[in-house]
């Protein structure tokens, strides 16, 4: 339910939150007892009042709530589109715009004692998406935690969950929460429900052929590299989907599973760290290809090296910007440099960039991928 803007302006109230047994109503004018009783009868619940400023985001959303431009005969559709509390309307506005702009992530964090920032990562770069006061930020973060089925009482421990917004078809949103004594911090990652095609992502034909050819090998290492938000996970998922289509068994270890790939065995350890012994367990599932989300720890690197040496094809990713950085990174994590040089069949270095063309004067996000065969040595 949402109040009309004329009603909010006349009485100085705005609906903030609707709970199971009560509604929270913000007010910047004195609230008469008769109005409070009327609101209680309207909602069928008790009314909790909270004083806010007329200039607050909640009040501005309530005062400028748009009226339906095209009336519909479907009352359910109208209610879903327009009858939203200001907090839900604000969240929809942020996420819808970020997804339309091609954002991969949205972050909400504390900037200082008086201000929180919302930023969207578009084309690999952070762009400002809004500013919140602490009270609204706290309500927005609690709302996201509840929607992701996380523990709302645990304000410190790292938590991960997902939300499927019905008004954002084709996507899920991964919610990563961490906190300290000053509050929670949230990062949202946009995930497609199914893995896209390599061509649809923007990989060149030559690069697609090299990746697919490497994926048909009996053993070796295929690495995706790039900075945060460069599409490594998406590229890996597209390649794994192509491998499954060639009737090869794929077993992946992910935390969490970001793309569901029909035909692949995807092992998820939600809310926990992937232990090294899980790699050995995955290898006992008789895979043709072992996929591992990201090499982060020494235990991962050493067991993945053993998987390569035992005759498996391993597909994984690593944070690094160039070929030499990738080699230094995996060797520092415990892989043998001679093994990496010999068995790494393909290195796909990529990033996302915003570009402006005559055909598309608006800013668009493009994938820049550089696929190298045996990047550090010639195969024997």
Phi (first) and psi of residue 353, to 5 degrees: -135, 150
The pLDDT-based confidence of 354 (bands split at 50, 70, 90) is low
Higher pLDDT among residues 71 and 42, named by residue: 42
Angle between helix 134-147 and helix 86-100 axes, rounded to 10 deg: 80
With H, G, I as helix, E, B as strand and everything else as coil, classify residue 224.
Answer: strand
Contacts of 292 (CB under 8 A, 6+ apart): 252, 253, 279, 300, 304, 314, 315, 316
Q: What is the C-alpha separation between 153 and 127, in angstroms, rounded?
A: 31
Q: What is the C-alpha separation between 379 and 328, in angstroms, rounded?
A: 20
Nearest to 87 by CA among 146, 44, 36: 146
Contact 109, 123 (CB under 8 A): no
The dihedral built from the CA positions of residue 279, 285, 286 and 290, taken in this order, carries a sign that is negative
Contacts of 5 (CB under 8 A, 6+ apart): 62, 63, 64, 65
Residue 101 has pLDDT above 70, yes or no: yes
Higher pLDDT among residues 321 and 2, named by residue: 321
Let me know whether 287 and 339 are in one domain: yes
Least confident of 64-78, 108-122, 196-210: 64-78
Let me know whether 317 and 243 are in one domain: yes
Number of neighbours of residue 339 by Cβ within 10 angstroms = 16
**Would 188 be classed as within a structural domain?**
yes
Q: What is the C-alpha separation between 231 and 225, in angstroms, rounded?
A: 9
Q: The domain spanning residue 143 has which CATH number? A: 3.30.450.90
- The boundaries of the domain holding residue 16 are 1-69
- Predicted pLDDT of residue 73: 34
Let me know whether 16 and 61 are in one domain: yes
Sheet holding 13-18, edge to edge: 13-18, 22-27, 46-51
Number of neighbours of residue 38 by Cβ within 10 angstroms = 13
β-strands 125-132, 115-122: how paired?
antiparallel
Helical residues (DSSP H) of 56-133, grouped into ranges: 57-63, 75-82, 86-100
**Would 76 be classed as within a structural domain?**
no
β-strands 364-373, 344-355: how paired?
antiparallel
Let me know whether 227 and 247 are in one domain: yes
The pLDDT-based confidence of 41 (bands split at 50, 70, 90) is confident
**Would 77 be classed as within a structural domain?**
no
Let me know whether 8 and 135 are in one domain: no
Q: How many CA atoms lie within 13 A of 151 on its CB side?
A: 10
**Would 80 be classed as within a structural domain?**
no
- Predicted pLDDT of residue 180: 83
Q: The domain spanning residue 46 has which CATH number? A: 3.30.300
Section 105-111 average pLDDT: 89
**Would 379 be classed as within a structural domain?**
no
Let me know whether 176 and 205 are in one domain: no
Nearest to 161 by CA among 175, 143, 147: 175
Contacts of 116 (CB under 8 A, 6+ apart): 108, 109, 110, 131, 132, 133, 134, 137
The pLDDT-based confidence of 77 (bands split at 50, 70, 90) is very low
Contact 168, 99 (CB under 8 A): yes
How confident is the model over 169-183, as pLDDT tens digits?
778 888 999 888 777
Specify the number of domains making up the chain.
3
Number of neighbours of residue 148 by Cβ within 10 angstroms = 20
- Predicted pLDDT of residue 379: 57
Rg (CA), the chain: 25
**Would 63 be classed as within a structural domain?**
yes
Phi (first) and psi of residue 87, to 5 degrees: -65, -45
């Amino acid at each position: 339910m949402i109040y009309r803007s004329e009603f909010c302006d006349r009485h100085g109230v705005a609906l903030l939150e609707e709970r199971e047994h009560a509604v929270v109503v913000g007010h910047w004018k004195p609230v008469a007892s008769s109005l409070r009783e009327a609101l209680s009868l309207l909602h069928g619940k008790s009314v909790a009042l909270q004083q806010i400023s007329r200039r607050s985001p909640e009040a501005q959303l309530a005062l400028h709530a748009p009226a339906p431009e095209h009336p519909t005969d479907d009352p359910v559709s109208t209610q879903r589109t327009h009858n939203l509390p200001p907090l839900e309307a604000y969240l929809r506005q942020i996420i819808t715009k970020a997804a339309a702009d091609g954002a991969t992530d949205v972050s909400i964090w504390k900037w200082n004692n008086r201000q929180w920032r919302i930023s969207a990562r578009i084309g690999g770069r952070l762009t400002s998406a809004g500013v919140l006061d602490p009270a609204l930020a706290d309500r927005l973060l609690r709302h996201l935690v509840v929607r992701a089925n996380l523990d709302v009482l645990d304000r410190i421990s790292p938590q991960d969950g997902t939300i499927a917004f019905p008004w954002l078809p084709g996507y899920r949103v991964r919610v990563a929460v961490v906190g300290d004594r000053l509050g929670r911090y949230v990062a949202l990652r946009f995930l497609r429900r199914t893995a896209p095609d390599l061509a649809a992502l923007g990989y060149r034909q030559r690069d697609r052929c090299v990746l697919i050819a490497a994926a048909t090998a009996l053993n070796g290492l295929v690495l995706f590299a790039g900075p945060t938000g460069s599409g490594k996970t998406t590229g890996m998922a597209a390649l794994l989907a192509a491998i499954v289509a060639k009737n090869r068994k794929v077993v992946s270890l992910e935390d969490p599973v970001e793309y569901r790939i029909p035909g692949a065995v995807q092992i998820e350890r939600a809310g926990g760290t992937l232990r090294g012994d899980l790699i050995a367990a995955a290898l006992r599932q008789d895979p043709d290809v072992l996929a591992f989300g990201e090499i982060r720890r020494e235990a991962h690197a050493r067991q993945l090296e053993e998987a390569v040496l035992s005759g498996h094809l391993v597909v994984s990713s690593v944070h690094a910007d160039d070929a030499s950085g990738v080699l230094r990174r995996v060797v520092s994590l415990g892989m043998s440099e001679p093994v990496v040089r010999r068995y790494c069949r393909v290195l796909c270095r990529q990033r996302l960039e915003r570009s402006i063309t005559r055909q598309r004067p608006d800013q668009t996000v493009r994938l820049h991928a550089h696929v190298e065969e045996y990047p550090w040595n010639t195969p024997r």
